[in-house]
Amino acid sequence: MRVCVCQIIDLKVTNIGYPSVIAHKYFKQNYDQIQEMFQIKHKGTISKIISKYNTQGNVDNNYDLCGNQGKIDIALDDLKDTLVDCESKKYSISNIRTSFNLKKYTDNLSRSSIYSLMVKLGIKYGRAQFTHTLTEQQLQQRKQFCKNYAYQDLSKIVYSDESIFSLKDSKLDIWYFSDFNRKLEQSEISYSQNQIHIWGGISLHGKTQIHIYNESVTSQQYQNCIKQSFIPFNQINQNRMILLQDGARPHTAKATEEFFRINNITVIQNPSYSPDLNSIELIWAFMKKIFNKTKTNKNITNKEQLINVVLDIWQNEISQQLIDQCINHTQETMKAIFENNGSY
């Protein structure tokens, strides 16, 4: 039996009380009607009332028809203006309720409810990959680069770059806006005692030796790296290899350019914000997957162990077959980027 609107109105003015009326057996199949008549925002609140009614035979007349989710929605307005101006502060899911006094809305605000609230604000928690919006000029530079090399013989190119391996997790969970334009939280951790900064190069003719920086990377440090790692590799290959590098300051400083000229090193400049055009990035990603498993399984706790593990991975896990696959993948990527006017 279903109850018509006029019967609902009649029941509303009885002494039974709104919650018990909602839970009455005649209304169990009329969620839409109940939601409209009693101005209940979420159907889950109706289900909770019915469940309590079935268990206890009645429901407290002071039962809040708004429900927790409704209270969260009310809290949104309070939080929105505060959160977007708090970039210098750090918050975790567990302390957001305290920080913003959410207990005034409900004592039962769960972690998942807080997360839902943040998502509604367009804010997420996790390991965000922040991307750079390429300008038209940068897109055209990428397109031209791909036009020059996508269909050429790449056997002489040494794809090179630096990377960091750390005992601590270098990818920190943060609060970030969904459009990737702003960060709300970024923990600051010094890795100086728990990381190594390395340089490496790969080509269709093999790989260089890994170079480990002992200091911050400067032009002089980078020149020392090239002397110890690239030049010996280039000599083995009859000095016909071409060094591909990005536009980091130590790579493009006047002193570095002069060093390249004196040593007859030919250099290709990778376009700005284009790690997808450098095959070494695929190798670093592969190595870090192995490294993250190894450092847990072998309980790596110091820098010396860290260095040994990274060198071992480079020497024994980075095969020529893998290198060839990465370079071929990059060449296919370049073709796609060229056809897509610089984007991918």
pTM value > 0.95: no
Share of the chain above pLDDT 70, in %: 56
Statement: residue 210 has pLDDT above 90: yes
Measuring CA to CA, how many Å separate 299 from each of 81, 266, 302, 306?
A: 44, 42, 9, 10
User: C-alpha dihedral over 293, 296, 297, 303, to 10 degrees?
Assistant: 100
Fold of 136-171+193-339: Nucleotidyltransferase; domain 5 (3.30.420)
What confidence score (pLDDT) does residue 55 get? Answer: 72
Crossing angle of helices 303-316/280-297, nearest 10°? 130
Reduced to 3 states (helix: H, G, I; strand: E, B; else coil), residue 162 is strand
pLDDT tens per residue across span 84-137: 544 434 455 555 655 555 545 545 556 666 666 667 666 666 655 556 788 999
- For residue 43, give the nearest of 55, 51, 56, 34 by alpha carbon: 34
Statement: residue 308 has pLDDT above 60: yes
343 HSE (CA, 13 A, CB side)? 6
Contact 11, 4 (CB under 8 A): no
pLDDT tens per residue across span 67-93: 554 555 555 555 555 555 444 344 555
